[in-house]
Structures are given as C-alpha cells and as structure tokens.
Amino acid sequence: MGFLQADPIRAPARAQDLTLMARVPGYRAGDLERLYPELDAEEDMIPNYGFVPRAVQALLHPRVVESTRIEREHPELLDEVRALLRERGELHPKELVAALGRRTASNYWGGQSSATTRALDALHYRGEARVTRRSGGVRVYGVAPHLEALRAAPLPEPERLRAAVHLLAALYGPLPEASLGYLTSLSGFGFPHLRTALRLAFRQAVKEELAGAKVDGLRYVWTLDNDPQGAPTPRGVRIVNPFDPLVWDRRRFEHLHGWAYRFEAYTPPARRTMGYYALPVFQNERAVGWANLRVEGSELRAEVGFVPGVRETATLRKGLDAALGRYRTFLGLETSASAQA
C-alpha cells in the first residue's frame, strides 16, 4: 500500500487494524502493533499520520520545520529531550516525565497536554526520533540513525516529489484530480519550502504521467498500472473503516455512490445522523449503508442503517452476517455476532 493511516479510536478496533483486516488474510486485531518491531515499517505522515515502509519514509526526509508551539512555550525542552534520548537510546513518555518533571503545553484544541510528550512528537516529525514500538498503545521513541544518514545524503528533491505524487495516486486512485491536488497539498513534507515544488510535481504528473478520464464531467486520475477498467467487480458484503482508501475521499464517495457519508466521531451527539463511528457498508460495488459496531462482553453488537431505496434482501442479510462473522474472528470473540437495523 505504501501508507496505512492510523487512528487511536477503537470502534471496534483501531483504523489501521480494520484496514489490514480487509486486505491481509488471517489478520487479527493488534497484529501490527505486536509485529511492528520486526517489520519494515515506520510511523510517519504522508499526508496523515500512519505507517510507511522505509523506502517511502525516505521521500519525507529531511524536513525543514518551522518553530513549533512547544518550542515557543518551552524553548529549552527540545534540547533536554534530545540529550536524554541520545543517552538512553529509547524513551517511554513516562520516563521523560520522571526525568524532567511534569510540564504542560497548550494543544491545538485549546486544552493542555504533556509538554515532554509534545517534544518527543516534535523530534519525531523532524526525523530526529523514531517510534520503536508501542507499550499498551503508547508510542515508545528511540534514536533514528537511518534518518540521520538520510539528512546527510537525501534523495534528489525532484525524485522525492514525483514519487510522493505517484504514491498518493496509487494509494487513493482512481480519484478526482482535485482530490489528488488536495492530498498533495497536505502531504507530510517540510513546509513551506516544498509547497510550490510539490504543486508543480502534481501538475506535471497529471499532464504527462498519470492516466485519466472524465466521469459525469468530473475528471479522474490514476497510475498507469492501476487501470480501473481491468479491475474485477467486487462481490459480497464488506464493512470498511472511515480511513480506508476505499472511502477516504468523500468527493469520490458521494459522486460514485450518490449519498454523503459522514464521519461523526467529533460531531456533538445530538447532531449525529449515522453514529459515533459509522463504518460504510458495501454490497458488491455499491455503498448501501453504514454500521456501528461495539463489543459487549464477548459479543459483537451491530447497529446497521441503509440509505433510502436499498432493499434489505435475504442476500444482503446473509452477506452482512458473513461480514460480521469475519469481524468476530478478527477481534477474537467466541460468541456469535448479532445485528439489528
């Protein structure tokens, strides 16, 4: 895939696990976290936070990062954390608090968070630290010699930018040209010095290197080795997560399926129309509704909604039960799943 988006919410499992469940036979919730130290995988951003192989991470560094809020509020803290990380080689956020004391910093949501953890995050984004593993879901950080070497001998900038545009087009395509432009504007390169160059790489790729066609007047693009006309037609019922590449682009989703899917985890409960963490439901190649899944004891509970005009046929119900069975196995539950519309 090249990139796997991560999200901390478990409903009924983290987004990275839900995406892998749909693509890796026999995958179980938590396998990525358990196997991460042995994998060719790094946590990084392109364009959102998630997991990348090192070959992709090489496209992202070195980053040129402007002064961050944590540096402005605690100008000495990054040097203290940097020195302690080099001394110990690996640090859990709790160890930082024990060594440097508890400090707070304002976050982007108007609240307060741990200043030392924010400093670790800043070093990680800069490429001066890497996530070595997770302990109970908490990121543990270590030194990143491979990124230090990359700072000394980075890939040529044109190669980095071209490869990044192609990666995003391959991961999320076929998708509207405007959506790919939006993705490249968000990508996790150092800003602002690469913003213009990345925009030019996107325009060149669309003009000379990607395939494309208009669908109902909307121009779509995709990589040359990902011709949608040669793809097999999906069969059966699938329940996918909100960050899956299949549904990530809401513009494409609404255009192809005729209704607007909403991710409402951060919407006030009274204003939600689909639920806290509604997962889109597909039957064959059409998105037909959504499901909110939760684990109660050892059982999987599902509340399913369908868009107007969708008939809840026996075939749909049978496919939905089979999809819930796959979720039960993925979650390691022993009793049968139950669903209610």
Indicate the domain borders of the chain.
69-152, 154-230, 237-340
Confirm if 341 and 324 have CB atoms less than 8 A apart: no
Confirm if 241 and 19 have CB atoms less than 8 A apart: yes
Instruction: Count CA atoms within 13 Å of residue 154 on its CB side.
Output: 15
Look at domain 154-230 and name its CATH class: mainly alpha
Q: What confidence tens digit (pLDDT) does each residue in 107-145 have? A: 655 566 788 999 999 999 999 999 999 998 899 999 999
Dihedral (C-alpha) 147, 245, 178, 53: value to the nearest 10 degrees?
Answer: 10
- Residue 24 predicted with pLDDT over 70: yes
- Which strands make up the sheet holding 299-306, listed edge to edge? 237-239, 279-283, 286-296, 299-306, 338-340
Do 69-152 and 154-230 come out as alike in CATH topology? yes
Cα–Cα distance, 17 to 293 (Å, whole number)? 14
- The topology (CATH level 3) of 69-152 is Arc Repressor Mutant, subunit A (1.10.10)
Mean pLDDT of the 193-211 span: 91
Angle at alpha carbon of residue 62, lines to 116 and 208, rounded to 5°: 135
Confirm if 249 and 172 have CB atoms less than 8 A apart: yes
With pLDDT > 70 as the criterion, what percentage of the chain qualifies?
94
With pLDDT > 90 as the criterion, what percentage of the chain qualifies?
77
Q: What confidence tens digit (pLDDT) does each residue in 289-323 have? A: 999 999 998 899 999 999 999 999 999 999 999 99
Of 196 and 236, which is predicted with more confidence? 236
Confirm if 276 and 303 have CB atoms less than 8 A apart: no
